[in-house]
Protein backbone atom coordinates (compact mmCIF):
# COMPACT_ATOMS: atom_id res chain seq x y z
CA UNK A 1 0.00 0.00 0.00
CA UNK A 2 1.45 3.35 -1.07
CA UNK A 3 1.85 5.93 1.69
CA UNK A 4 0.29 9.31 0.74
CA UNK A 5 2.93 11.89 -0.11
CA UNK A 6 3.17 15.11 1.90
CA UNK A 7 5.64 17.98 2.24
CA UNK A 8 7.21 19.50 5.35
CA UNK A 9 7.24 23.12 4.21
CA UNK A 10 9.30 24.42 7.15
CA UNK A 11 11.94 22.75 9.32
CA UNK A 12 15.41 23.48 10.69
CA UNK A 13 17.61 20.53 9.79
CA UNK A 14 20.81 22.49 10.46
CA UNK A 15 20.05 22.82 14.17
CA UNK A 16 22.33 20.90 16.55
CA UNK A 17 19.39 18.72 17.61
CA UNK A 18 19.90 16.77 14.38
CA UNK A 19 23.69 16.66 14.19
CA UNK A 20 23.98 13.10 15.45
CA UNK A 21 21.50 11.56 12.99
CA UNK A 22 20.59 13.99 10.22
CA UNK A 23 20.59 11.33 7.49
CA UNK A 24 18.45 9.01 9.60
CA UNK A 25 15.95 11.81 10.32
CA UNK A 26 15.58 12.47 6.60
CA UNK A 27 15.20 8.76 5.89
CA UNK A 28 12.44 8.49 8.51
CA UNK A 29 10.65 11.42 6.93
CA UNK A 30 10.71 9.83 3.49
CA UNK A 31 9.48 6.55 4.97
CA UNK A 32 6.53 8.46 6.49
CA UNK A 33 5.60 9.89 3.09
CA UNK A 34 7.36 13.24 3.47
CA UNK A 35 8.94 13.43 0.05
CA UNK A 36 10.27 16.99 0.35
CA UNK A 37 11.42 19.25 3.18
CA UNK A 38 12.32 22.94 3.20
CA UNK A 39 15.03 23.63 5.77
CA UNK A 40 15.19 27.25 6.89
CA UNK A 41 18.31 29.32 7.53
CA UNK A 42 17.60 31.92 10.24
CA UNK A 43 20.94 33.76 10.22
CA UNK A 44 22.51 34.53 6.84
CA UNK A 45 26.05 33.87 8.07
CA UNK A 46 24.98 30.24 8.50
CA UNK A 47 23.66 29.96 4.93
CA UNK A 48 26.61 27.83 3.68
CA UNK A 49 25.82 25.16 6.28
CA UNK A 50 22.13 25.09 5.39
CA UNK A 51 22.89 25.08 1.66
CA UNK A 52 25.20 22.10 2.13
CA UNK A 53 22.38 20.06 3.68
CA UNK A 54 20.14 20.80 0.69
CA UNK A 55 22.96 19.83 -1.64
CA UNK A 56 23.63 16.57 0.21
CA UNK A 57 20.04 15.29 0.33
CA UNK A 58 17.75 15.16 -2.71
CA UNK A 59 14.48 15.60 -0.73
CA UNK A 60 15.75 18.78 0.99
CA UNK A 61 15.38 22.35 -0.28
CA UNK A 62 16.22 25.52 1.57
CA UNK A 63 15.36 29.13 2.23
CA UNK A 64 17.36 31.82 4.00
CA UNK A 65 16.75 35.04 5.85
CA UNK A 66 17.18 36.78 9.18
CA UNK A 67 14.76 35.61 11.86
CA UNK A 68 13.12 38.57 13.64
CA UNK A 69 14.39 37.40 17.03
CA UNK A 70 17.94 37.60 15.61
CA UNK A 71 17.49 40.87 13.75
CA UNK A 72 19.24 42.98 16.37
CA UNK A 73 22.19 40.58 16.58
CA UNK A 74 22.92 40.17 12.87
CA UNK A 75 23.95 42.61 10.13
CA UNK A 76 20.95 43.95 8.25
CA UNK A 77 20.52 41.86 5.11
CA UNK A 78 20.45 43.58 1.74
CA UNK A 79 18.13 42.91 -1.16
CA UNK A 80 21.12 42.24 -3.40
CA UNK A 81 22.51 39.70 -0.92
CA UNK A 82 19.24 37.76 -0.86
CA UNK A 83 18.89 37.93 -4.64
CA UNK A 84 22.39 36.52 -5.02
CA UNK A 85 21.61 33.61 -2.68
CA UNK A 86 18.39 32.91 -4.57
CA UNK A 87 20.36 31.88 -7.67
CA UNK A 88 21.10 28.49 -6.13
CA UNK A 89 18.88 25.83 -7.75
CA UNK A 90 17.61 24.52 -4.39
CA UNK A 91 17.04 27.95 -2.80
CA UNK A 92 13.23 28.20 -2.92
CA UNK A 93 12.08 30.92 -0.51
CA UNK A 94 12.96 34.19 1.23
CA UNK A 95 13.03 34.02 5.03
CA UNK A 96 12.03 33.32 7.54
CA UNK A 97 11.59 36.97 8.37
CA UNK A 98 8.87 38.82 10.21
CA UNK A 99 8.05 40.34 13.58
CA UNK A 100 8.16 38.90 17.09
CA UNK A 101 6.99 41.23 19.85
CA UNK A 102 6.44 38.41 22.34
CA UNK A 103 10.12 37.84 23.03
CA UNK A 104 11.93 40.72 21.32
CA UNK A 105 9.64 43.76 21.25
CA UNK A 106 12.59 45.99 22.14
CA UNK A 107 14.01 45.44 18.64
CA UNK A 108 10.76 46.24 16.82
CA UNK A 109 12.30 48.96 14.65
CA UNK A 110 15.13 46.81 13.31
CA UNK A 111 12.71 43.91 12.84
CA UNK A 112 10.52 46.12 10.66
CA UNK A 113 13.51 47.29 8.63
CA UNK A 114 14.68 43.71 8.15
CA UNK A 115 11.20 42.54 7.15
CA UNK A 116 10.96 45.23 4.47
CA UNK A 117 14.29 44.07 2.97
CA UNK A 118 13.00 40.51 2.78
CA UNK A 119 9.72 41.64 1.22
CA UNK A 120 11.65 43.56 -1.45
CA UNK A 121 13.74 40.45 -2.20
CA UNK A 122 10.58 38.37 -2.58
CA UNK A 123 9.13 41.00 -4.89
CA UNK A 124 12.27 41.00 -7.03
CA UNK A 125 12.92 37.25 -7.18
CA UNK A 126 9.35 35.99 -7.38
CA UNK A 127 10.15 33.50 -4.61
CA UNK A 128 7.68 33.17 -1.73
CA UNK A 129 8.23 35.15 1.45
CA UNK A 130 8.21 33.03 4.63
CA UNK A 131 6.74 34.98 7.55
CA UNK A 132 7.16 34.54 11.30
CA UNK A 133 4.62 36.52 13.31
CA UNK A 134 4.06 36.60 17.04
CA UNK A 135 2.19 39.25 19.06
CA UNK A 136 2.55 41.73 16.20
CA UNK A 137 -0.60 41.26 14.15
CA UNK A 138 -1.41 44.94 13.57
CA UNK A 139 2.06 45.95 12.41
CA UNK A 140 2.37 42.79 10.32
CA UNK A 141 -0.92 43.37 8.53
CA UNK A 142 0.04 46.98 7.84
CA UNK A 143 3.51 46.25 6.48
CA UNK A 144 2.45 43.30 4.32
CA UNK A 145 -0.61 45.13 2.99
CA UNK A 146 1.28 48.29 2.08
CA UNK A 147 4.04 46.35 0.33
CA UNK A 148 1.58 44.11 -1.51
CA UNK A 149 -0.31 47.10 -2.90
CA UNK A 150 2.97 48.52 -4.17
CA UNK A 151 4.07 45.28 -5.83
CA UNK A 152 2.35 41.90 -5.28
CA UNK A 153 4.37 38.96 -3.95
CA UNK A 154 3.77 35.40 -2.79
CA UNK A 155 3.84 34.60 0.91
CA UNK A 156 3.21 31.92 3.52
CA UNK A 157 2.34 32.71 7.13
CA UNK A 158 4.55 30.03 8.67
CA UNK A 159 3.36 28.23 11.81
CA UNK A 160 0.19 30.29 11.74
CA UNK A 161 -1.24 30.81 15.22
CA UNK A 162 -2.40 34.42 15.04
CA UNK A 163 -5.81 36.08 14.90
CA UNK A 164 -8.72 35.48 12.57
CA UNK A 165 -8.28 39.06 11.35
CA UNK A 166 -4.68 38.47 10.28
CA UNK A 167 -5.65 35.19 8.64
CA UNK A 168 -8.31 37.02 6.62
CA UNK A 169 -5.86 39.77 5.63
CA UNK A 170 -3.33 37.18 4.47
CA UNK A 171 -5.90 35.19 2.53
CA UNK A 172 -7.27 38.33 0.89
CA UNK A 173 -3.80 38.86 -0.59
CA UNK A 174 -3.66 35.27 -1.83
CA UNK A 175 -1.17 34.24 0.86
CA UNK A 176 -0.99 30.77 2.41
CA UNK A 177 -1.45 29.65 6.02
CA UNK A 178 0.77 26.86 7.32
CA UNK A 179 -0.38 24.36 9.95
CA UNK A 180 2.23 23.32 12.49
CA UNK A 181 1.99 21.01 15.48
CA UNK A 182 0.28 23.84 17.39
CA UNK A 183 -2.85 23.22 15.32
CA UNK A 184 -2.86 19.63 16.59
CA UNK A 185 -2.63 20.51 20.29
CA UNK A 186 -5.84 19.56 22.16
CA UNK A 187 -6.42 23.13 23.40
CA UNK A 188 -6.04 24.71 19.93
CA UNK A 189 -9.74 24.55 19.08
CA UNK A 190 -9.96 28.26 18.25
CA UNK A 191 -6.97 28.00 15.93
CA UNK A 192 -8.45 24.98 14.15
CA UNK A 193 -11.66 26.98 13.69
CA UNK A 194 -9.66 29.73 11.94
CA UNK A 195 -8.07 27.20 9.61
CA UNK A 196 -11.47 25.62 8.90
CA UNK A 197 -12.72 28.95 7.51
CA UNK A 198 -9.82 29.18 5.04
CA UNK A 199 -9.87 27.71 1.53
CA UNK A 200 -8.12 24.35 1.57
CA UNK A 201 -6.13 25.45 -1.50
CA UNK A 202 -4.32 27.98 0.72
CA UNK A 203 -3.11 25.51 3.37
CA UNK A 204 0.36 24.06 3.90
CA UNK A 205 1.67 21.73 6.61
CA UNK A 206 4.98 21.93 8.43
CA UNK A 207 6.82 20.79 11.54
CA UNK A 208 9.04 23.77 12.43
CA UNK A 209 11.18 20.95 13.81
CA UNK A 210 12.93 20.51 16.16
CA UNK A 211 10.16 22.55 17.85
CA UNK A 212 6.40 22.09 18.37
CA UNK A 213 6.05 18.33 18.05
CA UNK A 214 2.40 17.35 17.56
CA UNK A 215 0.71 14.64 19.62
CA UNK A 216 1.61 11.88 20.28
CA UNK A 217 5.16 13.28 20.41
CA UNK A 218 4.43 16.57 22.18
CA UNK A 219 7.23 17.61 24.50
CA UNK A 220 9.82 15.64 22.53
CA UNK A 221 12.11 16.70 19.70
CA UNK A 222 10.08 17.24 16.55
CA UNK A 223 11.25 15.95 13.18
CA UNK A 224 9.93 16.08 9.59
CA UNK A 225 8.39 12.58 9.77
CA UNK A 226 5.87 13.97 12.24
CA UNK A 227 4.33 16.14 9.52
CA UNK A 228 1.98 13.20 9.05
CA UNK A 229 0.45 13.71 12.51
CA UNK A 230 -0.34 17.36 11.87
CA UNK A 231 -1.67 16.52 8.41
CA UNK A 232 -4.01 13.95 9.94
CA UNK A 233 -5.49 16.66 12.15
CA UNK A 234 -5.64 18.99 9.14
CA UNK A 235 -7.63 16.39 7.23
CA UNK A 236 -10.14 16.23 10.09
CA UNK A 237 -10.41 20.04 10.20
CA UNK A 238 -11.33 20.17 6.52
CA UNK A 239 -13.50 17.04 6.56
CA UNK A 240 -11.24 15.22 4.10
CA UNK A 241 -9.63 11.84 4.19
CA UNK A 242 -5.91 11.88 4.84
CA UNK A 243 -4.88 10.98 1.30
CA UNK A 244 -6.98 13.80 -0.18
CA UNK A 245 -5.66 16.38 2.28
CA UNK A 246 -2.09 15.24 1.67
CA UNK A 247 -2.57 15.57 -2.09
CA UNK A 248 -4.16 19.00 -1.80
CA UNK A 249 -1.49 20.46 0.49
CA UNK A 250 1.22 18.99 -1.72
CA UNK A 251 -0.37 20.68 -4.74
CA UNK A 252 -0.50 23.93 -2.73
CA UNK A 253 3.19 23.60 -1.95
CA UNK A 254 4.01 23.02 -5.60
CA UNK A 255 2.02 26.10 -6.59
CA UNK A 256 3.68 28.36 -4.01
CA UNK A 257 7.18 26.87 -4.11
CA UNK A 258 7.21 26.44 -7.88
CA UNK A 259 11.00 26.36 -7.99
CA UNK A 260 11.04 23.28 -5.75
CA UNK A 261 8.31 21.65 -7.85
CA UNK A 262 10.33 22.20 -11.03
CA UNK A 263 13.63 20.91 -9.62
CA UNK A 264 14.95 17.57 -10.82
CA UNK A 265 18.03 15.86 -9.39
CA UNK A 266 21.08 15.48 -11.56
CA UNK A 267 21.56 11.91 -12.85
Q: What is the pLDDT of residues 137-165, one digit of tens each?
A: 999 999 999 999 999 999 999 999 999 99
Domain ranges of the chain: 6-262
Position 1 confidence tier, pLDDT thresholds 50, 70, 90: low
Q: What is the pLDDT of residues 194-229, one digit of tens each?
A: 999 999 999 999 999 999 999 999 999 999 999 999
Residue 215 in contact with residue 185, Cβ under 8 Å?
Answer: yes
Closest CA to 249 of 31, 39, 11, 4: 4
Is 67 annotated to bind a ligand? Reply is no
Give the integer Cα–Cα distance in Å for 175 and 2.
Answer: 31
Q: Assign domain 6-262 to its CATH architecture.
A: Alpha-Beta Barrel (3.20)
Is 208 annotated to bind a ligand? Reply is yes
Q: What is the pLDDT of residues 61-116, one digit of tens each?
A: 999 999 999 999 999 999 999 999 999 999 999 999 999 999 999 999 999 999 99
Is 118 annotated to bind a ligand? Reply is no
Q: In what order do the strands lie in the sheet with 60-64?
A: 6-11, 34-41, 60-64, 91-100, 129-134, 155-157, 176-179, 203-205
Is 229 annotated to bind a ligand? Reply is no
Is 12 annotated to bind a ligand? Reply is yes
Amino acid sequence: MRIPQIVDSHCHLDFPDFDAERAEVIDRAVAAGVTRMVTICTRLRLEPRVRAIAEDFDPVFYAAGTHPMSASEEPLATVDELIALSQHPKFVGIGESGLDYHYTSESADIQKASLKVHIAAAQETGLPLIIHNRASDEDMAGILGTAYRQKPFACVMHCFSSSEALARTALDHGFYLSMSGIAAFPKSTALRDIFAQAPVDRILVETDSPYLAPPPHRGKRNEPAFTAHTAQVGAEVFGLDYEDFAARTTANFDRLFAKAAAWTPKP
